[in-house]
């Protein structure tokens, strides 16, 4: 499987090892690292190694890849002793997306608030 790379993308640079990150998990297709500005005691960023800008750019045949994000989130939450947690995927500026390499936030370690938006 070939990996798409955007040379200007900070998460592609993390995948390539050109930018440091505090890594939590890696497999053939996925990397998880700690958020540089954590919004909870545990804040992981789950990304595909291949550059996909937003959820809108996800191809139908990549659905299984995104499905694995949930399995990885579940297992990381268990590994880090999070009894409850939240996963978030922001899409486009209006959805709060700042880094345009698709990623899922995994947040835990404190009581999540009721508000989402």
Q: Which residues are catalytic?
A: 103
33 binds Zn ion (CB under 5 A): no
- Comparing CA positions, the residue from 93, 88, 97, 11 lying closest to residue 47 is 11
48: Cβ contacts below 8 Å, ≥ 6 apart: 29, 30, 62, 65, 102
35 binds ligand 5GP (CB under 6 A): yes
Among 24, 44, 51, 77, binds Zn ion (CB under 5 A): 51
Q: Where does residue 92 fall: left (phi above 0), alpha (psi -120 to 50 degrees), or beta otherwise?
A: left
101 binds, among Zn ion, ligand 5GP, none (CB under 5 to 8 A by kind): Zn ion
CA gap 58, 66 in Å, rounded: 9
Considering only residues 43 to 62 of the shown chain, the ones binding ligand 5GP according to CB under 6 A are: 45
9 binds ligand 5GP (CB under 6 A): no
Given the rule CB under 6 A, which residues bind ligand 5GP? 10, 19, 21, 33-37, 45, 90, 96-99
């Amino acid at each position: 499987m070939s990996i798409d790379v955007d040379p200007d993308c900070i998460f592609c640079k993390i995948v390539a090892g050109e930018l440091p990150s505090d890594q939590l998990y890696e497999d053939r297709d996925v990397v998880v690292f700690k958020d540089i500005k954590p919004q909870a005691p545990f804040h992981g960023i789950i990304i595909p190694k291949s550059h996909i800008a937003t959820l809108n750019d996800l191809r139908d045949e990549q659905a299984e890849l995104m499905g694995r994000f949930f399995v990885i989130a579940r297992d990381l939450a268990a590994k880090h002793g999070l009894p409850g947690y939240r996963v978030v995927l922001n899409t486009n500026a209006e959805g709060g997306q700042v880094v345009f390499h698709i990623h899922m936030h995994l947040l835990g370690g404190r009581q999540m608030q009721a508000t989402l938006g």
